[in-house]
Structure 1
Amino acid sequence: MMELQALELHPKILGALKKAKLCSAQKILTLSEADLHRQTKLSSNDIQHLLKETAKYVTQSPMTTALDIHEGLCPSALKVQRISTGCKVIDEFLRGGVRSGGITEIVGESATGKTQLCMQLCLAVQLPLDMNGLNAGAVYICTEDVFPSKRLHQMIQHFEKKLDSNVTKNPRLGDHIFIEHASDKEGLLQCVTKRIPILLRRNLVKLVVVDSIAALFRGEYGLEETAKRAYHLRSLGLLLHKLSQQHNIPVICVNQVSANMRRDSDFCRYDVIPALGLTWSNLVTSRLLLSRTSMTIDSSDGTSSTQSKCVVRTLQAIFASYLPKDICYYVINSHGVQGLAA
């Protein structure tokens, strides 16, 4: 069933369609312009716009065959896209970067660099295709703290220095990051179902980041509301998957952790486990775990002759269809997230 809200139509046209009970693409496209005018009382220009938008909606998901994929004739909308993390070492670890076509979860304790890695992805997605970007902006949804705009501007300054002169002539990188604040579940759903699809259809953005998914689902439900929370989690996860599949974009969800009470068993070897349980885990396509270590190294950000101590952190691929279970070391400095070469 077609969702009328998915079409870019004037509210007057939407109201006429609902009144005429024309809620499917099949009904709209099988009627002639005269029949549509008779049932909706819309003008000729409105009907032509309606037919155009409905046809675009129907054909936005191309079809292909296994032979076309094997011969490299797969439509671009069905090709797996990757975006750089802004660091060559981490890109090599991730086999080219973060993939489209699903939900990539970045999980870890506080101060492991989850938000900074997400901001770096929002900058890298704006790179041209030949530089492992998608040449578009990003949507960043904050559900916990205020967005760290000061830190973002600091990262932009260092990020632009690494780019070619042709790239730096483009509009400022910060102008293409759309920031939303969602303080509750309803606000997040409103953003995912209403505002983000408009930006995606206009090709203004090709990355969606939710930081974090756990903040709205850990404390809002009581112990007796477990089934209700699971239902709402599944609904949100399916909406995010739908956006990712329809527009062939990566979706990044930041998650918090809980203490692992069964560490000594074969169930899990980690001190912490991702929050939200199996309900959310079954919705995640790839899971990356960020952790802090007790090690430090001397690191210089290039802005001064002095060196500072940086805590070494780890990036682990817990599960992903395209990654082995491996580990990558990185540090965080004024430049952003930087991997350590082996």
Structure 2
Amino acid sequence: MNFDKPSLSRSRELPFCDVNEAASQVVVMDELDLNPRILTALCKAGLKTYEDVLNLSTADIARSTKLTQSDSVTLKLAVSEKVYRQPKLTAMDIKNGNCPSMFSRKSLSLGCPILDEIFRGGILSQGITEVTGESAAGKTQLCLQLCLMAQLPLEDGGLNGGAVYVCTEDVFPSKRLQQLIKSFPAQHKTERTKQLALGENIYVEHVAEKEQLEHCINHRIPILLERGLVKLLVVDSVAALFRSEFELSEAFQRAKSLQKFGAQLHELASRYNIPVVCVNQVTANMRALLPSDDPFIPALGLTWSNQVQTRLMLKRLPYKLPPSSECNPSCEIPVRSMEVIFSPYLPKDTIYFVVEGDGIRGLR
């Protein structure tokens, strides 16, 4: 599970057409729906490729070709449309998967049919899913289970790839992961599961400073994504660094840094069509006046909340299930809850679950 830095290859194909390749092609004048006067001026100025036109500003084109400002704008617009065309899609095309990869969202199963039923298939790609809650609420357990599920084929609820697990607080729970790996094939009895080296497909990185985290997000993780080695990114946790490295008087600087970090995560999620799961801490709710009010709220305030697509609040409840022979026959099992605080595709709901030796299991 060592996070080694392989050589970087930036040869990823664009979803529609490669702009650099298209721009280097020789312009066929007859294909451009332009006034012949403009096409003649192009030839006289020596602008023979799409790249020649797109690399110049409108003012530079006007000076080189002796065209008017209006003609230069028309020329650049025509070349741009020739190089990059966005396909016409309907909502039904996207739903049926008849669209480029950047429009089709994938679902990552949570590893439990009951949880998947509530989450309508699982965690969606191209967005940030926040898992927040008190200590020992089951946040890390859920993330570990997602890392294993991501390695399954698409037809089994996985993403057919590995995962990156960025630790900013504690040491990565490798012992617990090994425990889950041993029981994972028994839960998912497929030929592919038997062949997977589950532990070798999870890349772990420990960071202790915000600058290290930014370097990891901007440089190291894209290397693995470019090579198709990983399909899931987990950050555990976001609050650890942003709460410790800023003073109370530096609220503006922290907000600006959080916005930048959120934009970087969204860029990775959108470009590579992957789910991004971020663990967050909680803080005391100073507005809790009634006993029914929640005593804790997610940390990092409104600035971070605006970066999150789906927020899940995990809690440890005072209820316990009787001892189970499947887990530890001598210990009662604490019951936990998972509440959907907000989401664009899920209703506000609460589901109860337990953490057992072989992972998280939902309760009806």
**Into which bin does the TM-score normalised by the smaller protein fall?**
0.7 to 0.9
Give the secondary structure class of the aligned counterpart of 2:242: coil
Residues 80-116 of structure 1: CA deviation (Å, up to 9, x unaligned): 1100111111111111111111100000000001011
Question: Aligned residue for 2:32?
Answer: none
1:141 lines up with 2:166 in the alignment: yes
Using the TM superposition, give the Cα deviation of residue 329 of structure 1 relative to its aligned residue in structure 2, in angstroms.
0.4
CA distance in 2, matches of 1:118, 1:219: 23
Structure 1's unaligned 5+ residue stretches are 1-6, 11-24, 37-57
CA distance in 2, matches of 1:226, 1:28: 46
Question: Aligned residue for 2:66?
Answer: none
CA distance in 2, matches of 1:172, 1:225: 45
Q: Mean Cα displacement is larger for which, 84-93 or 176-185?
A: 84-93
Residues 66-86 of structure 1: CA deviation (Å, up to 9, x unaligned): 264367522233211100111
1:209 lines up with 2:210 in the alignment: no
The correspondence of residues 25-64 of structure 1 with structure 2, limited to 5 A, is 29-30=23-24, 63-64=87-88
Q: Mean Cα displacement is larger for which, 135-144 or 170-179?
A: 170-179
CA distance in 2, matches of 1:259, 1:286: 21
Question: Aligned residue for 1:69?
Answer: 94
CA distance in 2, matches of 1:147, 1:218: 20
- Is this contact kept in 1: 2:165–2:204, CA < 8 A? yes
1:222 lines up with 2:283 in the alignment: no
Partner amino acid, structure 2, of 1:195: R
Identical columns (%): 49
- Is this contact kept in 2: 1:301–1:333, CA < 8 A? no
Residues 189-243 of structure 1: CA deviation (Å, up to 9, x unaligned): 1110001111111111010000000000112111211111111100000000000
CA distance in 1, matches of 2:110, 2:261: 25
Larger Rg: 2
Q: Which of these residues, 192, 204, 207, is aligned with residue 217 of structure 2? A: 192
Question: Aligned residue for 1:106?
Answer: 131
Question: Aligned residue for 1:297?
Answer: 321
Shift of the 114–70 alpha-carbon distance from structure 1 to 2, 3 Å rule, reads closer
Alignment TM-score, normalising by the size of structure 2: 0.75
Shift of the 201–130 alpha-carbon distance from structure 1 to 2, 3 Å rule, reads same
- Is this contact kept in 2: 1:102–1:251, CA < 8 A? yes
Question: Aligned residue for 1:325?
Answer: 348
Using the TM superposition, give the Cα deviation of residue 31 of structure 1 relative to its aligned residue in structure 2, in angstroms.
8.7
Question: Aligned residue for 1:151?
Answer: 176
- Is this contact kept in 1: 2:327–2:357, CA < 8 A? no
CA distance in 2, matches of 1:303, 1:257: 29
CA distance in 1, matches of 2:341, 2:252: 26
Q: Which of these residues, 316, 327, 340, is aligned with residue 339 of structure 2? A: 316
Using the TM superposition, give the Cα deviation of residue 145 of structure 1 relative to its aligned residue in structure 2, in angstroms.
0.6
Using the TM superposition, give the Cα deviation of residue 337 of structure 1 relative to its aligned residue in structure 2, in angstroms.
1.3
CA distance in 1, matches of 2:294, 2:356: 26
- Is this contact kept in 1: 2:317–2:336, CA < 8 A? yes
Question: Aligned residue for 1:284?
Answer: 308
Partner amino acid, structure 1, of 2:324: S
RMSD: 2.7
1:233 lines up with 2:261 in the alignment: no
CA distance in 2, matches of 1:206, 1:71: 21
Alignment TM-score, normalising by the size of structure 1: 0.80
- Is this contact kept in 1: 2:150–2:163, CA < 8 A? yes
* Alignment: residue pair count: 295
Give the secondary structure class of the aligned counterpart of 1:96: coil
Residues 258-308 of structure 1: CA deviation (Å, up to 9, x unaligned): 01111237xx9421100000000000000000001110002425267x352
Question: Aligned residue for 1:89?
Answer: 114
Shift of the 73–138 alpha-carbon distance from structure 1 to 2, 3 Å rule, reads same
